[in-house]
Structure 1
């Protein structure tokens, strides 16, 4: 059976969204750095606690705003937990720089998880997109999609490694302010670049006559996704 040329389809940015969540994640970081810096400059002995308190308050305000705008409670809670854990680590050690340990560990774990998923032929980009589109694991039965998702997933590995390459030297040097700036600068802009580049890799890795992400070819027959990305919108 001849597969017709693939029609226009939504991009990864439209499928995954994420800009709002990425921007929200930077507000508590900025609050922590400002709170710690002001308290430290005024000679406070509990500068880390002041920074942590500012971060928690900022996270709660962001959560409240999102809830008021109709955000899902689970998504809001998932945004609060990393901030609370990061603050707890910093307060426990008494080192402001340790506020960024959770982020560093998260990026290291994500890089490893994406790399391993590619090696075992369960590329995480495909898993995520498949879940969003309601395809479950049907995309894995399409050899072209499986290969394309694997290649595009390497871009995500690179994203996490870029952050680690910036964060680790600053962390070792105890540069709290620089880490805060880097954390903000490497959130949404880097995510946007990663999504854009991985989309290009994904499209170019598929044969010209492949029907696209929405229609995995199973046993030579294109299938339809039960849901459309536009039903999800940007988060």
Structure 2
């Protein structure tokens, strides 16, 4: 008898993380207020107030557009609030680089939250995908899928850690333009890379024959399937 080391092949119609979670549009939109802040700040000769007004204006315009397209008001308002808070922080300190301080703190909190979720065996990647797929926590009954989510969630911890390292270094050096460029580069491109790598980790971690993310297999069913496969293997050897 031989043991296969090939990654699990998703069932027909099974989605990738990118298709399940999406995120490109939200990531791009989240970068626009930053671009507005830097444009206003730069064109005004370094006036933080002008940059703050520009950022809030762009954020408000995006919010109006999103609401007109039927987006959930709560999510839209939270986005505008985040832009407003970032602008107020920069206004209160007079440093353009401080516009990015909220972003740094948010990434630190996210890294800690994702790492904690793995330690307590409730990986956030599983929670989020489970909510999107309306599985009501059924993925936790599948030990193979739960383990795969834990492993893949470390990729997301790494994503936030990279942002904290880059943003933190540039913030300490008081380089607002470099922070803006890093914000653009480390938004959708990094998220896309994270989705691709975590999807690869998930596939590698699932056992051969697993039906995929949409079809959790309870532990009892996995044992039954394993015993059945073992019995078939013994029969073939005989």
Normalising by structure 1, we get a TM-score of 0.87
Partner residue in 2 for 1:27: 32
Higher alpha-carbon deviation: 63-72 or 152-161: 63-72
Q: Closer, same or farther in 2 for the Cα pair 1:35/1:85, shift >3 Å?
A: same
Does 1:12 pair with 2:9?
no
Partner residue in 1 for 2:94: 94
How far apart are residue 219 of structure 1 and its match? 4.1
Question: 2:17 and 2:78 mapped to 1: Cα distance?
Answer: 22
Kept in 1: contact 2:110–2:160 (CA 8 A): yes
Partner residue in 2 for 1:215: 215
Kept in 1: contact 2:143–2:219 (CA 8 A): no
Kept in 2: contact 1:114–1:157 (CA 8 A): yes
Does 1:63 pair with 2:63?
yes
Partner residue in 1 for 2:122: 122
How far apart are residue 202 of structure 1 and its match? 0.5
* CA RMSD, Structure 1 to Structure 2 (Å): 1.6
Unaligned runs of 5+ in 2: 1-8, 223-238
How many residues align? The count is: 214
Alignment of 1:184-203 (within 5 A): 184-203=184-203
Question: 1:184 and 1:7 mapped to 2: Cα distance?
Answer: 35
Q: Provide Cα deviations, 1:84-117, integer angstroms capped at 9, x if missing partner.
A: 1101111111211111000000111111111111
How far apart are residue 70 of structure 1 and its match? 2.3
Kept in 2: contact 1:6–1:208 (CA 8 A): no
Normalising by structure 2, we get a TM-score of 0.86
Question: 2:81 and 2:208 mapped to 1: Cα distance?
Answer: 44
Kept in 2: contact 1:48–1:95 (CA 8 A): yes
Kept in 2: contact 1:111–1:157 (CA 8 A): yes
How far apart are residue 198 of structure 1 and its match? 0.3
Question: 1:218 and 1:169 mapped to 2: Cα distance?
Answer: 45
Partner residue in 2 for 1:225: none
Q: Provide Cα deviations, 1:145-174, integer angstroms capped at 9, x if missing partner.
A: 110000000100111111112111110010
Question: 2:90 and 2:60 mapped to 1: Cα distance?
Answer: 18
Kept in 1: contact 2:86–2:98 (CA 8 A): yes
How far apart are residue 189 of structure 1 and its match? 0.5
Question: 1:108 and 1:143 mapped to 2: Cα distance?
Answer: 29
Question: 2:124 and 2:10 mapped to 1: Cα distance?
Answer: 23
How far apart are residue 190 of structure 1 and its match? 0.4
Higher alpha-carbon deviation: 67-76 or 127-136: 67-76
